[in-house]
Chain A
Amino acid sequence: MRRVRWGLVKQQMAVQLLVRTLNFSSLSLFILQPAVFSAVGMLLSRAAGNAVPDLVYSVIGGGIMGMWSGIVFTSTYDITSDRRNGTLELITGSPTSLASIEAIRTFTNVLCGFFALLVAFAAAMGIFGYSLEGANLVGAGISLLLLLFAMWCSGVFLANFLAWSRISGTFVEYLEMPMAILCGFMFPMRVLPGWLQTVASVFPIRWALEAMNESLLGMRDLSYLGKHWLIAGGLCLLLMLVTNWLQNKVQDKIRVNGELSSI
Chain B
Amino acid sequence: MIKALVRRIRLYIAQAWLSYHGRFSITHPFGYITSKLGFPFFLMIFFIFMGKFVGFSDPLYIVIGNLLLIPANNGMAGITLAIGDERGWGTLSYVLGSPAPRAPVFIGRAIFYIVDGFFTALLGFVIAAGIFHMDLSGVGLWLLVLCTFLLAVTASGIGFLFGSISLISRDGWTVLTTFIQALYILVGVNFPVDALPGVLQKVAYGLPLTRGVMAARLVLDGAGWSAIRSLVVGETLIGALYSAAGYVIFRIIEKRSTISGTLDAL
CB distance from A84 to the nearest CB of B (A): 12
Are A47 and B195 neighbours in the complex by a CB distance under 8 Å?
Answer: yes
The stretch that binds B, out of A85-93, A142-150, A186-194, is A186-194
Q: Please tell me which one of the listed residues B46, B171, B178, B182 contacts residue A181 in the complex, with CB atoms under 8 A apart.
A: B46
Query: A54-B54, A187-B49 given as contacts; is B39 within 8 A of A25 (CB)?
Result: no
Given A54-B53, A174-B42, A191-B49, 11 new contacts (CB under 8 A): A32-B181, A40-B184, A44-B50, A45-B55, A47-B195, A48-B54, A50-B54, A57-B53, A174-B39, A186-B50, A188-B53
Residue numbers in A under 8 Å from B45 (CB-CB): 177, 181
Q: Separation in Å of the A133 CB from the closest CB of chain B?
A: 23
Complex interface residues of chain A between 19 and 64 (CB less than 8 A to chain B)? 24-25, 28, 32-33, 36, 39-41, 43-50, 53-54, 57-58
Number of interface residues of B (CB under 8 A): 33
Interface CB pairs A-B, < 8 A, 19: A24-B171, A25-B171, A28-B177, A33-B181, A40-B47, A40-B50, A41-B54, A44-B56, A47-B192, A48-B55, A53-B54, A54-B54, A58-B54, A170-B34, A174-B38, A174-B39, A178-B42, A186-B46, A191-B49
| A44-B42 Cα distance, complex, nearest whole Å | 18
B interface: dominant SS: helix
A41 with B46: in contact, given A24-B174, A25-B174 (CB under 8 Å)? no
Interface contact A181-B42, CB-CB below 8 Å:
yes
Partner of A187, one of B30, B31, B52, B196: B52
Report the minimum CB–CB distance from A151 to chain B (whole Å).
18
Tell me the complex Cα distance, A36–B44, Å. 15
Interchain CA distance A188-B177 in the complex, whole Å: 28
User: How far is A181 from B56 in the complex, measured between Cα atoms in Å?
Assistant: 17
- Return B212 CB to nearest CB of chain A, in Å: 20
Interface check B154, CB cutoff 8 A: no
